[in-house]
Amino acid sequence: MEKVVNMSHWRRKLVLWMVMVIQLSLFLSVFSTEIHARKFLKDNHINTNDVRLHISDRLVVIDNGLVEVTIENPSGYLIGIKYKKIQNVLERRNHNSNRGYSNFLEYWDIVWDGNSYDKLETKHVEVITQTNDIVELSFTKTWNSKNHGKTIPLNIQKRYIVRRGISGVYMYGIFERQEDFPKAHMYQIRIAFKLKEDKFRFMALSDTIQRVMPRSEDRVKGHSKPLDFKEAVLLTNPSNPKLKGEVDDKYQYSTENKDNKLNGWISDHDSVGFWIMTPSNEFRTGGPHKQDLTSHVGPTALSMFVSTHYTGTEIDTFYKEGEAWKKVFGPVLIYLNSASSKDDDHRKIMWNDAKRQLSEEIESWPYNFTRSEDFPHSQQRGQVNGQLLVQDRYMDKQLMQAKSAFVGLAPPGEADSWQKEGKGYQFWTQTDEIGRFNIKNVRPGVYNLYAWVHGFIGSYKLDPDIIIQPGNKIELDTLIYDPPRNGPTLWEIGIPDRTAAEFFIPEPYPQYVNSITNDGADKFRQYGLWDRYSDIYRDSDLVYTVGTSNYSKDWFFAHVPRKIGDDRYRPTTWQIKYNLQDVNNRGTYTLQMAIAAASFAEVEVRFNDPNSDRPHFTTKRIGYDNAVPRHGIHGLYRLYSIEVPGYRFRKGSNIIYLTQTRSDNSFEAVMYDYIRLEGPNSLNN
């Protein structure tokens, strides 16, 4: 009996031992798997930390384990971004300022009613969302009539979002005017960042526009020489000797809205990148081709929403007394990344990673994690599909496909009003090879559909309003664009593309070169090209002979005044010489003159008589876009269809005289897009 008891005891021991072995094995397996999982997450820069929020009387801190974002309470100023070993990527100046933490240089601002600046200091903070995965905060201020003339008449919400696993912070603003608010101009709305100057020296805007930049101190007296346009300086004694003799001008780094999606800076010492990502242009003004600032010396990084750059005050930024308005600007993502300092190509690694992240943001638009009823998610938006064809019977008797045409929805107006529209939302796309288009994720509202087609003058507008409702999908009939045309082409100069890029752009002065903008595509960005006209056409003005001259070599990109001395200029008259084999004296000819930019200019047109007191046509004074000194290749588009009676022409040799009459300074100029002379109508109706 005793032996049986002992055997049972050992069996129980054996079973317990086996259970312990199995448990240990499972534990080691799980432990090993967890180690590998943690290593995988680390190797692939995947973060699983919760998003944490701490609010005190003076500070609000959001931390997701990748970035720590600090915002002043209740002003809403973003005063700190901690990333990797950099305690704060933002610059701090005026350490003895009485404003406390607000001397960190990040700010929203609005330029209003002249040169008044409002940095949108708020009064309250509200937690909109707080979970382990996301925190969204709203910093608010309600306008009070007691502050009339002191602060911008707007109700303000500045929103910040930090998400799990994203090394950055999303920012957007919701601005509102109510019916009892006074009138106001709002010329500029933006977010500006000043980064630590001792760290961020390398700027990147595109695959080709990347460079080590001067420091802000390099632009001051003793280190630089001011040039004719106030933002431009010649670096004479920069901190980096390699930059000596180069021009620095923030406008050399401007780009069109459609291309202005990513810009930023790299700290080589820390192998850290700071990037502004704009996944959508729906909240920007002036359409896809409006140009605006990006990054520049500071180091400064900008997210521009509204400005008068390259349009002047022709863009609509005026709000009447009692005019209600509400708009969401953003969200944009402030993204930080890093690479191993051991990598020789760390800049390339960070740039490519930033492009990868931008692609993810674009794919995710419109974001579904925002918590504002003013920012509709995808299912709350609509879309418009269709096809655009072109009918120009003088070019082709058949309908032509509108390849790569720009098609968009914008607030109702005239055919080209979208390029001056400064208050609403716009949604643009390009057609495919057969002219089909799909405009997705359109906010509910009332719009007109607009388009322009490369290779054809003028603009298209679909007359009926398009009303977008949540979730609807509008299928349009085939749209036919009839571009302006009164007769057959007798001759033409240029390409109808709304720019002057195809014309002759001279080599810059050797003493005024910016090396990064010296390749063909960006050559027009060089400083001082306007004065090259007086060097090249030293003794007489430009003469273009149809059939002999080449517009890429013989047509100067800008019609500027002639420089005749220090700060002295005179008007210039260009000639277009051509032959007509026959003339219909009773017919009507048409000169189609498309202008790509104009700055305080006037073009007078005369036919065969340069000395006539009155021109046959004048544009009168046009334009405020300053595209010439700001290194743009276009500004606002204008088209003039000038009818000319046949008796103005001669059989054989003819000359058209184009006089740019304004000459107070070298920047009063026009850029032509395209010029075409049409004969009388020869088609049967």
How many domains does one find in the chain? 3
Token pair recorded at residue 79 = 């005063």
Q: What mean pLDDT is predicted for residues 329-352?
A: 92
pLDDT digits (tens, 9 = 90+) for 448-504: 999 999 999 999 999 999 999 999 999 999 999 999 999 999 999 999 999 999 999
Instruction: Report whether pLDDT(135) > 70.
Output: yes
Whether 109 contacts 118, CB under 8 Å: yes
The rounded distance, in Å, linking the Cα atoms of 683 and 487 is: 8
pLDDT of residue 41: 40
Tell me, what's the pLDDT at 20? 56
Residue 350 and residue 390 in one domain: no
**Hey, what are 634's tokens?**
């276009």
CA–CA gap between residue 635 and residue 420 (Å, rounded): 11
* C-alpha pair distances (Å), 387 with each of 207, 392, 405, 429: 33, 17, 10, 12
State whether 652 and 633 are in the same domain. Answer: yes
Closest CA to 447 of 469, 475, 480, 420: 469
Within a domain: 3 = no
Q: Which domain holds residue 565?
A: 489-678
**Are 496 and 405 a contacting pair, CB within 8 Å?**
no
Per-residue pLDDT tens digits for 137-164: 999 999 999 989 899 999 999 999 999 9
User: Which residues are bridge partners to 450 per DSSP?
Assistant: 408, 461
pLDDT in tens, 33-45: 333 433 444 444 4
Please enumerate, as own/partner, the contacts of 206-213 that have beta carbons within 8 Å and a separation of 24 or more.
206/255, 206/259, 207/351, 208/519, 208/521, 208/522, 209/253, 209/516, 209/517, 209/522, 210/347, 210/351, 210/516, 211/515, 211/516, 212/240, 212/242, 212/243, 213/248, 213/296, 213/297, 213/299
The pLDDT of residue 550 is 98
Residues 66-76, mean pLDDT to the nearest whole number = 97
Residue matched to tokens 């919701």: 174
Q: Is 608 found in the same domain as 470?
A: no
> Is pLDDT above 70 for 102?
no
Local confidence band at 253 (pLDDT 50, 70, 90 cut-offs): very high
pLDDT greater than 80 at residue 82: yes
pLDDT at 106: 74
- Establish if 20 belongs to a structural domain: no
Give the residue from 297, 330, 364 where a domain finishes. Answer: 364
Amino acid 460: pLDDT: 98
Q: What confidence score (pLDDT) does residue 36 get?
A: 41
pLDDT of the residue at 6: 47
The pLDDT of 527-534, averaged and rounded, is 96
Q: Are residues 560 and 518 in the same domain?
A: yes
Q: With 0-12 CB in 10 A as exposed, 13-18 as middle and 19+ as buried, what is 611?
A: exposed
Give the Cα separation of 592 and 581 in Å (integer).
20
Residue 564 falls within a domain, yes or no?
A: yes
For residues 470 and 348, membership in a common domain is answered with no
Together in a domain, 235 and 330 = yes
Answer whether residue 330 is part of any domain.
Answer: yes
**Mean pLDDT computed over 609-626:** 96
Residue with tokens 């930023």: 264
> Considering the domain boundaries, does residue 685 fall inside one?
no
Q: Which two tokens stand for residue 633?
A: 């290749």
Tokens 């010296």 locate to 518
Residues above pLDDT 70, as percent of the chain: 90
306 and 417 share one domain: no
Domain contains 684: no
Quote the CA–CA distance of 563 and 569 in Å, as a whole number: 5
Higher pLDDT, 11 or 232: 232
Task: Identify whether residues 470 and 515 lie together within a single domain.
Answer: no
**Secondary structure tally for the chain: helices H, strands E:** 4, 45
C-beta of residue 299 within 8 angstroms of C-beta of residue 214: no
pLDDT of residue 22: 47
Q: Tokens standing for 335?
A: 């993204």
Residue 563: inside a domain: yes
Under the banding of pLDDT at 50, 70 and 90, the label for residue 535 is very high
Non-local CB neighbours of 162 within 8 Å, separated by 6+ positions: 51, 62, 63, 64, 67, 69, 134, 135, 169, 170
Per-residue pLDDT, averaged over 653-679, amounts to 97
Length of the chain: 685
Our CA dihedral for 530, 532, 535, 537, rounded to 10 degrees, sits at -70
pLDDT of residue 115: 80
pLDDT in tens, 305-324: 999 999 999 999 999 999 99
Q: Is the pLDDT of residue 677 over 60?
A: yes
pLDDT in tens, 179-227: 999 999 999 999 999 999 999 999 999 999 999 999 999 999 999 999 9
Q: What is the pLDDT of residues 665-675, one digit of tens each?
A: 999 999 999 99
- pLDDT per position as a tens digit, 373-385: 999 999 999 999 9
Do residues 185 and 282 share a domain?
A: yes
pLDDT, position 48: 65
Q: How many angstroms separate the CA atoms of 494 and 73, rounded? A: 56
Assigned token pair, 381: 């938006």
Whether residues 533 and 659 share a domain: the answer is: yes
Task: Reply yes or no on whether the pLDDT at 110 is more than 90.
Answer: yes
Inside any domain, residue 31: no
Per-residue pLDDT at 12: 55
456 and 579 housed in the same domain: no
Residues contacting 139, CB < 8 A, separation 6+: 71, 74, 75, 76, 122, 124, 125, 126, 156, 157, 158, 159, 160
Residue 340 pLDDT class (50, 70, 90 cuts):
confident
CA distance 484 to 590: 10
- CATH number, domain containing residue 605: 2.60.120.260
Helix (H), strand (E), coil (C) string for 466-504: EEECCCCEEECCCEEECCCCCCCEEEEEECCCCCCCCCE
Residue that terminates a domain, selected from 448, 481, 514: 481
Nearest to 77, CA basis, from 49, 55, 58, 97: 58
pLDDT at 490: 98
State the average pLDDT for the chain: 91
What would the mean pLDDT of 254-260 be, rounded to a whole number? Answer: 97
Residue 175, pLDDT > 50, answer: yes
- Write the CATH number for 423: 2.60.40.1120
pLDDT tens-digit readout, 267-306: 999 999 999 999 999 999 999 999 999 999 999 999 999 9
Residue at a domain's end among 364, 390, 417: 364
Kindly state the tokens that stand for 226. 């001011």
pLDDT band at 11 (very low <50, low <70, confident <90, very high): low
SS3 537: coil
Q: What's the pLDDT score for residue 107?
A: 84
Residues 127-135 have a mean pLDDT of 98
Question: How far is 186 from 117, CA to CA, in rounded Å?
Answer: 10
CB 419 within 8 A of CB 636: yes
Per-residue confidence at 516, pLDDT binned at 50, 70, 90?
confident
The CATH number for 181's domain is 2.70.98.10
Residues 349 and 436 in one domain: no
59: Cβ–Cβ under 8 A, 6 or more apart, which residues? 70, 71, 72, 73, 101
Residue 685 confidence (pLDDT) above 90: no
The rounded distance, in Å, linking the Cα atoms of 147 and 138 is 22
Q: Hey, what amino acid is at 685?
A: N
Looking at per-residue confidence, does 229 or 88 come out higher?
88
